[in-house]
Amino acid sequence: MIVKIDKPTIDPKNYFEGVMKLLKLISIIGITIIFVSCGRSEVSGGDPEESPRKDKSIRRYNVEVEAEQTRERTPCDTISLQEHVINSYPAGTYLVEFDRTFTYNVPKPAVVYYRGERNKKYIFAAIAKSKEGERFVEPKNLIGFESSFINLDSTKLGTAFFYLILFECNGEGNFEELWEAEVPIHGGFNSMKVKRWKAKNILYLELNFDLYYHLLPLPRSYLV
Find out whether 177 and 163 touch, Cβ atoms under 8 Å.
no
Q: What is the DSSP letter of 147?
A: H
Number of helices and strands (H, E) in the chain?
5, 8
Rounded Cα–Cα distance for residues 136 and 143 (Å): 15
Whether residue 223 contacts residue 122, with contact meaning beta carbons closer than 8 Å, is answered with: yes
Model confidence over 112-121: pLDDT tens digits? 999 887 788 9
What's the rounded Cα separation, in Å, for the pair 127 and 110? 8
**Would you state the pLDDT for residue 65?**
92
Task: Residue 139: name the closest of 164, 112, 125, 157 by CA.
Answer: 157
pLDDT of residue 15: 57
Digitized pLDDT (tens) for each residue of the chain, 224 residues in all:
454 445 555 555 555 666 566 666 676 666 555 544 444 443 344 565 567 888 888 899 999 999 999 989 999 999 999 999 999 999 999 998 887 766 666 778 999 999 887 788 999 999 989 888 888 888 777 776 555 555 555 556 778 888 999 999 987 889 999 999 988 766 667 888 888 888 888 888 888 876 556 777 777 666 65
- Rounded Cα distance between 218 and 213, Å, is 16
Amino acid 83 reads E
Given this model, what pLDDT does residue 41 score?
40
Task: Classify 5 as helix, strand or coil.
Answer: coil
The whole-angstrom separation of Cα 209 and Cα 190 is 6
Pairing of strands 160-169, 121-130: antiparallel
Q: Parallel, antiparallel, or unpaired for β 202-208 and 213-217?
A: antiparallel
d(CA 53, CA 40) in angstroms, rounded, equals 15
Phi/psi for 202 (5° steps) reads -115, 130
Q: What is the pLDDT of residue 160?
A: 81
The string of DSSP codes covering 190-223 is -EEEEEEETTTTEEEEEEE-SS-EEEEE--TTT-
Do the Cβ atoms of 162 and 184 come closer than 8 Å?
A: yes
Measured between alpha carbons, how far is 108 from 97 in angstroms, rounded to an integer? 5
